[in-house]
Amino acid sequence: MKTELIVLTAPDLMLASLLVLALIGLGVRLGLGISRTLTVAAIRTTVQLLLVGLILETVFSQAKLSWIMLIVLVMMTVAAWEILARQKRKIKGWWGFGVSAFSLFISSFLITLLALFIVIEADPWYTPQYAIPLLGMLLGNTMNGIALGMDRLVQTAWQQRAVIEQRLMLGQKDSEAIGEIKRDSMRAGMIPIINAMAAAGVVSLPGMMTGQILAGSPPVEAVKYQILIMFLVTSGTGFAVITVLQLITRRMFDSRERLRFDRLLKEPG
C-alpha cells in the first residue's frame, strides 16, 4: 500500500498559525511576557524554513559537490556559534569557537561521512537528499549535547572553584579535583539522547520516522532509518562531549595544576 503525499496548502498553514496567534493573544492578556519572544521565533521559523526549502530544491536538482560543501560549512558554523551562545559563562572567543567547531566536526561531519560511504552507499556519495538531512539531524542533536555538557562543566567548576582549589591544596591531581564535575557534565550532555532512545516508539515517535511515514514510506523501512540515526546521534554526541570535556579541562588547569579561569573565560570574576 503506497499512499499519495498529501500536499499542504497555504490555508492549512494559516489555520495552524491561528493557534499560535491565539496563544500570543492570551499571553498578552495575562501579561506573561512571552509574546514578543514567541512572535519573533514563529516568524524566524517560517522565514528560515521557507528559505532553506528553496535552497534545498535548487541544490537537490543540481547535486554539485561545491554547493553542498558550502551549505555544510554554513550549517557547522552556525551550530558552533549556537553552542557558544548557549553558555552562561562566556568562553574566550576564537578558542571557544575552535573547541565547539572541532567537536562538531568529529561528531557530526565525520560520522555523516562514515554513514554516507559505508552504510547508505548512495551514488554519488554526496547525494544531497541523503547528505544534508543526515548532517542536519546529527548537528542538531550533538549541538544540544555539547552545549549542555560544556555549560555544566564550566558553570559547576566556576561555582565550586573554592572546592577545586581546596582539593588541589591537599595534593590531589587536577584530574582528581575535577573528576566528579566531569562525570556530572558527561551525564548532562548525554541525558537528552539517552532519554530519546529510551522513549523512542513507546512514549514518542521520532520526528524523522514520522515524517517518512507521512510521506508514504512503509513503517518498517522508516524504523530502520530511525535506528541508524539514533545510533549515529548517540555515538556522535558521546564522542563530542568527551572531546569538549577533555579540551576544556586541559585549558582550565595549567602545567602546574593551577585553576586558571583567566585562560578560559572572557570575564574571569
Partner 1 sequence: MLRFEDLKIPNIEPINLTIEPGECVGLSGESGSGKTRLLRAIADMDEHGGQVYAEDIAQDQVKAHEWRRRVMLLPAESQWWFDTVDQHFSTQAKYIETLGFGQDVMCWNVSRCSSGEKQRLSILRMLSHCPRVLLLDEPTANLDSSNIARVEDLIGNYLSNHNAVAIWVSHDASQLGRVSHQQYHLSDGQLKQVSEA
168 sits near partner 1 (criterion: CB under 8 A): yes
Nearer to partner 1, 29 or 256 (CB): 256
Residue 193 contacts residue 234 (beta carbons within 8 Å): yes
Site for partner 1 (CB under 8 A): which residue of 171, 203, 220, 267?
171
269 sits near partner 1 (criterion: CB under 8 A): no
Residue 71 contacts residue 131 (beta carbons within 8 Å): no
Residue 97 contacts residue 81 (beta carbons within 8 Å): yes
CA 166: distance to chain centroid? Answer: 35
Q: Cβ 164 to partner 1, closest distance in Å?
A: 9
Residue ranges in 242-261 that form contacts with partner 1 under rule CB under 8 A: 254-258
173 sits near partner 1 (criterion: CB under 8 A): yes
Site for partner 1 (CB under 8 A): which residue of 89, 167, 182, 251?
167
Residues 6 or more apart from 83 whose CB is under 8 A from it?
A: 100, 104, 143, 146, 147, 150
Site for partner 1 (CB under 8 A): which residue of 12, 57, 180, 221?
180
Nearer to partner 1, 166 or 246 (CB): 166
Q: Cβ 255 to partner 1, closest distance in Å?
A: 8
7 sits near partner 1 (criterion: CB under 8 A): no
Site for partner 1 (CB under 8 A): which residue of 166, 195, 204, 210?
166
Alpha-helix runs per DSSP H in the chain: 10-30, 35-62, 65-85, 93-104, 111-114, 128-159, 161-169, 174-177, 179-199, 207-214, 219-252, 261-264
Grid coordinates belonging to 134: 543526515
Q: Cβ 250 to partner 1, closest distance in Å?
A: 15
Q: Cβ 162 to partner 1, closest distance in Å?
A: 5
169 sits near partner 1 (criterion: CB under 8 A): yes
Nearer to partner 1, 68 or 168 (CB): 168
Strand, coil or helix: 30? helix
Amino acid letter, 67: W
What span, in angstroms and rounded, lies between the C-alpha atoms of 23 and 178? Answer: 45
Site for partner 1 (CB under 8 A): which residue of 35, 172, 217, 235?
172
Nearer to partner 1, 36 or 173 (CB): 173
Grid coordinates belonging to 148: 549542555
Strand, coil or helix: 127? coil
Q: How many of the chain's residues bind partner 1 (CB under 8 A)?
A: 19
Q: What region, left, alpha or beta, does residue 170 occupy, with left being phi > 0 and alpha being psi -120 to 50 degrees?
A: alpha
- Candidate ranges 36-44, 67-75, 161-169, 192-200; the one touching partner 1 (CB under 8 A): 161-169
Residue ranges in 61-120 that form contacts with partner 1 under rule CB under 8 A: none
Give the interface with partner 1 as residue ranges (CB under 8 A): 160, 162-163, 165-174, 180, 254-258
